[in-house]
Structure 1
């Protein structure tokens, strides 16, 4: 929790008896190779390309191998990339119009990334030099307005501090975001923020369990963290629909997914609400926006199977 945070309504557990708007009641199974269940020892990440909406899924093996797996298309074969291994989950985001950028924390705490296109041409792993982490980094594409630009946030490798760095063909110097967390932070681009000029939104779970957000206008500086309440035992996820509405999700002490909705200015659009489904999760959920719809990807705690559902239907709140 940052010393400069503005605390707004952080009474524990700070959950409200509301429901996420347009949420499906039931989850659907994550599958590959025509129907085999995806099982992961961690969070499952997904991204769709801007041009054709082709899916790439990334997850950590459900064993002690630390192997990372990927699958192309909605249920196609799983494969590995250059024998990458990690003690944490990988992540993937769109890049350009027909590519993805893939990231993971190596077993040496260094951050590695690479690019793959819809024809499965692979760049090979590259290192983000001088930047290390103890957890999964979070990355966002800066929307269709800046398709070849990325922003990455991550927790430091030797402290609870958080850092951010910008990519536009090269990685720029990292900046200390302030605040403190025991989990991975999150970051998302909102094209409707800042009067339609776009802004980044970062989120983290503070050391007090409450969730904090921060924003940076395109080309500007980060402001101060401020609380949006809640009570999580994981880092939060954050995603933006094309309406500008944002959704956050995280694993709560009851081991269920809880949600919070925000408008394009970061204002509360709802209180924290428990997922309709009774799925018990073992890790932080992942959110992916597809046009106006936001999906939640969650990993069950009992059998480590992956599930997805629509958690926001693109309407108003």
Structure 2
């Protein structure tokens, strides 16, 4: 087990200058050797950006941006796809970026970047394993604005619909974070805070798991130097740990997820010789802030749309990868089984 490489000006310069990289080995534990179609009502789903999550009872909600339009579609338990149109106002949610879905203590919440760059959120109603209604979607206050083609990163926190958000600035590469206390009445939105030393040309990603001993919050991003960065925060504190650099480069947003038993996974598309390669690489994370010490190449390579790494989701301590192929059709597989 390797400890993180502490980031200092010297360490960053050294890693870039000599091209440090760990060797890639095949396969995460329990990784599947094949991809299966992501389906809605028996049809392969096609879109530009997808996310999914499960409720404690096993209900699965998938959300994606349309392949031929900028509308947001949802499916519950692989049922019929329905576009997000508010039951209250009739407004249709539109985005140029990947939407997000999280299960909270208050139910399902969907987040997306509007075509105006503002971040929006709203709820859906699921009953009997079926989607029964859409709520209104509301603009996040306090100038939570990003680039229209970049999604917000969102994780649910304990208490009502509480959440932590992160995004890249609309006019800079600075990454910002914001706490939302949705467990009190009235709810309280924090002010956006610039995360120290966190800058990127693309959106960040987040992971959180309340079952980790100190309620770890993890933030990852592709640095302006194409380094893969991860920062840790103990939930309830306001400071981030020292940032760390892995032995790979990337120029697109990494994916990250934490399972319930103290293991997590991070996925990237490597950036090699000035371009993104087609093979996803994975590494493991630990709740004690160590990592697996090596990168593994996906067991069955799938070229992805816009060189985006798969979305990562978890259920029962198994990590699932959901990837978008070059033609927009989505596929999934188990990319790690950490239940043992």
Give TM-score, length-normalised by structure 2.
0.84
Cα displacement (A) at 1:15 = 4.3
Of 266, 279, 292, 1:269 maps to: 292
What residue is the counterpart of 1:74 in the other structure? 78
Residues 1:105 and 2:113 aligned together: yes
Residues 1:25 and 2:33 aligned together: yes
Cα displacement (A) at 1:69 = 1.2
What residue is the counterpart of 1:127 in the other structure? 139
What residue is the counterpart of 1:94 in the other structure? 103
Matched-pair contact (CA < 8 Å) for 1:262–1:270: no
User: C-alpha offsets along residues 243-283 of structure 1, whole Å, 9 cap, x if unaligned?
Assistant: 11010012232122111111112212141121111210122
What residue is the counterpart of 2:223 in the other structure? 206
Which stretch has the larger CA shift, 81-90 or 305-314? Answer: 81-90
Return the alpha-carbon distance in structure 2 between the equivalents of residues 22 and 89 of structure 1: 28
Cα displacement (A) at 1:92 = 0.8
Matched-pair contact (CA < 8 Å) for 1:184–1:235: yes
Cα displacement (A) at 1:219 = 0.9
Return the alpha-carbon distance in structure 2 between the equivalents of residues 6 and 53 of structure 1: 47
Matched-pair contact (CA < 8 Å) for 2:279–2:297: yes
User: C-alpha offsets along residues 156-204 of structure 1, whole Å, 9 cap, x if unaligned?
Assistant: 11111101111122321111113211111111113354xx131211111
Return the alpha-carbon distance in structure 1 between the equivalents of residues 337 and 229 of structure 2: 25
What residue is the counterpart of 2:185 in the other structure? none
Larger Rg: 2
What residue is the counterpart of 1:300 in the other structure? 325
Residues 1:237 and 2:260 aligned together: no
| Secondary structure of 2:167's aligned partner | strand
Of 51, 55, 60, 1:55 maps to: 60
Of 171, 182, 186, 2:205 maps to: 186
Q: Against the structure 1 CA distance between its residues 291 and 6, is the aligned structure 2 distance closer, same or farther, given a 3 Å change threshold? A: farther
| RMSD value, Cα | 2.2
User: C-alpha offsets along residues 14-62 of structure 1, whole Å, 9 cap, x if unaligned?
Assistant: 24232322110101100112x2111112x21001112x12111111111
Q: Against the structure 1 CA distance between its residues 274 and 75, is the aligned structure 2 distance closer, same or farther, given a 3 Å change threshold? A: farther
Return the alpha-carbon distance in structure 2 between the equivalents of residues 157 and 92 of structure 1: 22
Residues 1:289 and 2:296 aligned together: no
Cα displacement (A) at 1:239 = 0.4
Return the alpha-carbon distance in structure 2 between the equivalents of residues 12 and 298 of structure 1: 28
What residue is the counterpart of 2:3 in the other structure? none
Of 44, 48, 65, 2:50 maps to: 44
| Secondary structure of 1:229's aligned partner | strand
The structure whose residues are more often strand, as a share, is 2
Return the alpha-carbon distance in structure 2 between the equivalents of residues 58 and 5 of structure 1: 40
Return the alpha-carbon distance in structure 2 between the equivalents of residues 296 and 7 of structure 1: 31
Matched-pair contact (CA < 8 Å) for 1:15–1:273: no
Q: Number of residues paired by the alignment? A: 305
What residue is the counterpart of 1:136 in the other structure? 151
What residue is the counterpart of 1:310 in the other structure? 334
What residue is the counterpart of 2:168 in the other structure? 155
Return the alpha-carbon distance in structure 1 between the equivalents of residues 288 and 246 of structure 2: 13
* Unaligned stretches of 5+ residues in structure 1: none
| Secondary structure of 1:131's aligned partner | coil
* Unaligned stretches of 5+ residues in structure 2: 1-5, 86-90, 183-187, 271-275
Return the alpha-carbon distance in structure 1 between the equivalents of residues 296 and 11 of structure 2: 20
